[in-house]
């Protein structure tokens, strides 16, 4: 049995309260806010045989924001 977790950051979707602005995208190290498709593609990979050896992992899917935030 395999058990993994996906922890998404900001994922833009059509029901956003306000439009995603250019500066919202720019704050992410990858240069954009996440998309629903990004999460779906990671989940599809984790369900595939290609990820058959991956288990017990938390996949942080946040465009690098967690690594960018350094708290001292």
Give the pLDDT of the chain (72 residues) as one tens digit per residue: 999 999 999 999 888 778 899 999 999 999 999 999 999 999 999 999 999 999 999 999 999 999 887 655
**What residue segments make up the domains of the chain, in order of their start?**
4-68
The long-range contacts involving 44-53, CB below 8 angstroms and separated by at least 24 positions, are 46/4, 46/6, 51/2, 51/4, 52/2
- The pTM score is 0.85
- pLDDT for position 70: 64
């Amino acid at each position: 049995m395999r058990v993994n977790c996906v922890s998404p950051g900001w994922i833009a979707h059509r029901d956003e309260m306000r439009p995603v602005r250019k500066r919202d995208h720019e704050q992410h190290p990858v240069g954009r806010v996440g998309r629903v498709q990004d999460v779906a593609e990671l989940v599809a990979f984790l369900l595939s045989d290609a990820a058959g050896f991956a288990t017990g992992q938390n996949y942080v899917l946040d465009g690098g924001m967690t690594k960018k935030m350094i708290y001292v």
